[in-house]
Amino acid sequence: MFALLSLLLCSMQSCVVQRIDHTPYAKTDYYRHTLQALDEQPPVAREGDSLQAGWAKVNITPPVGSPLAGYGKRKGLRYSTVHDSVWVRTFAFDNGSAEVIFVALDMLIAPMTVADALEKEYAALGLSPGQVYLSATHTHTSFGGWGQKLVGRLMAGRYSRQLVQQTTAHIVQSIQLARQNKQPAQIGYGIAYAPHLVRNRLTGSLAGRDTTIRFFKIEQTSGKTAVLATFAAHPTILPSMDPVLSRDYPGELVDQLEKSVDFAAFAAGAVGSQAVVAPHGDTYESTAAVGQQLAVAIMEKLPAVELKSTVPLGYGRHPLLLPRPQWRLNTNYRFAPFLFNGLFGKYPTYINSMQLGEVVLLGVPADYSGELIPELEQQGRPVVVTGFNGGYIGYITPDRHYHLKKYETRSMNFYGPQSGSYLTEIMEKIMRSYQPNDGRNN
C-alpha cells in the first residue's frame, strides 16, 4: 500500500511540475505556423490621394466603488475617490484607400474581455478587426472589474459584466465620433528624449533603457492640431494601496499638451524593465512633474515636425502562436500548462500592426522590454511599439536575462527562455512586410 501511494504521489508531481523546455523555437510547430500565417495574411498597405483624420474622447470612468487594477496585493480594493477621470481617446485615419483606427484607453491594459466584446461590434461599424489598433496607457490606478479567471480577479478585482459592456459601448462611441470628425489633414512623426525620467529596473543598465518619446503630429485644415505620444516608463508613480482612481503621469502629460494643442493621447510604449523616475516620490507632485517635463520635450520639437497630406496607411492583425506555458517554479522546473491556463485563462494572441506614413506601429499583448527596441530599429525605418493590445502573455525580456531571479524574468515570464527572441523576430518580419512602400501591396 505504501509503495502504491508513493507511486501515485510521484505521478501527480510529474503531472503538476515539469522541466523547462529549451527546444529552439525555430524548430517548433508554433513558429512554423506563425510564419505561415504571416505569409498567408500579409498586412494591407495602400497609398491614397489625401489624408483625412479625426479624433474624439469619451469618459469611461465607472462609479465610485468600482475595483482598481494593477497590483495583486490590493485584493480587489475599490476606489473611494476619483482624482482625475479616465477616458478612451481615439483617432480615425483615412486616405481614401484604407482606414485605420487607433484607440488609447486610460487603463492597465486593453482587457481581453473588452477586446472580445468589441469583436462583435466591428461589422456594424463597417470595420474589420485588423483595422482597429487597441492600446492602453498602462496606468496602475485605473479601474478593473474585467478579469474573469482567478489571476485576473486578483489583479483587477471582482468581474463585472456590466462594466465590460459599458466600456465596450464607450469605445464604440469614440470610434463613431472620431470618424464623424474627420477632416482633410496632414501628419508627421517626431521624437524627443527624456533620459532623466526612465531607469532600467531589471538590471540597472544605463544602456538598457528606452529614453525616446515618440509622437505623431496631426493637423487638420481647420487649424486644429492633435498629438499622439508614446513613452516607455511604467506609470506606477502613485501608491498602490490608496483607494484613488487616476491616470498617473500619462494623464498629466495629455492635460499639459492640451494647453497648447486641441487634442492629445498617450499609449504605453515598451515598458518592460523600464521604470519611471519620480522626482518627488509616490505623489501627485511627481505625476505632475513627469507629465509636464514630457510635454515640454514634445512641444519643443513639435514645430519642426514635417507634415504630409498624402501618406500610405496600412493595417494588419497577425496571429501569434505560442509554446505551451512555462510558468516557472524554479530555475529548472515549471508548473504544468493546465495549471497556468486554469489560473490565467486561455485567450487568442496576436500582434497588431499599423502604418502611418513611413512609421510602422506594432501592438503586442505584453510588457515588451525597451531593451529590445534597438533590434527593431535596425530594420531601417521608424517603429513605434505599444503594449496591451487586447491580450496578455506576460513580460517579454531579452533571452540573456532569463536566469535572473527577478519579478519580470521569473514570476512574469510565462512562455519560456526564448520569448524575447521569438516575438522580436516575428515583429521584424511584420515590419519588413510593409516594405517596399510603393503601392504594390494594394
As a whole number of angstroms, the distance between CA 70 and CA 245 comes to: 11
As a whole number of angstroms, the distance between CA 135 and CA 108 comes to: 10
Question: Which three cell numbers, joined as nine digits, stand for 289?
Answer: 512633474
Question: Which three cell numbers, joined as nine digits, stand for 355?
Answer: 502604418
As a whole number of angstroms, the distance between CA 289 and CA 77 comes to: 27
Please, are residues 415 and 394 in contact by the beta-carbon 8 Å criterion?
yes
Is 138 within any annotated ligand binding site? Answer: yes
As a whole number of angstroms, the distance between CA 172 and CA 126 comes to: 12
As a whole number of angstroms, the distance between CA 410 and CA 405 comes to: 6
Please, are residues 441 and 315 in contact by the beta-carbon 8 Å criterion?
no
Give the chain's length: 442
As a whole number of angstroms, the distance between CA 75 and CA 216 comes to: 38
End-to-end CA distance of the chain: 71
Please, are residues 88 and 171 in contact by the beta-carbon 8 Å criterion?
yes
Please, are residues 117 and 247 in contact by the beta-carbon 8 Å criterion?
no
Return phi, psi of residue 395, to 5°: -90, 135
* Core vs surface per residue 1-27: b (16+ CB within 10 A) or e: eeeeeeeeeeeeeeeeebeeeeeebee
Please, are residues 390 and 365 in contact by the beta-carbon 8 Å criterion?
yes
Taking residue 196's Cβ as centre, other Cβ atoms within 10 Å add up to: 11
Ranges of H-type helices in 89-236: 112-119, 122-125, 150-156, 161-180
Please, are residues 66 and 163 in contact by the beta-carbon 8 Å criterion?
yes
Question: Which residues does the annotation place in the binding site?
Answer: 138
Question: Which residues does the annotation place in the binding site for Zn(2+)?
Answer: 138
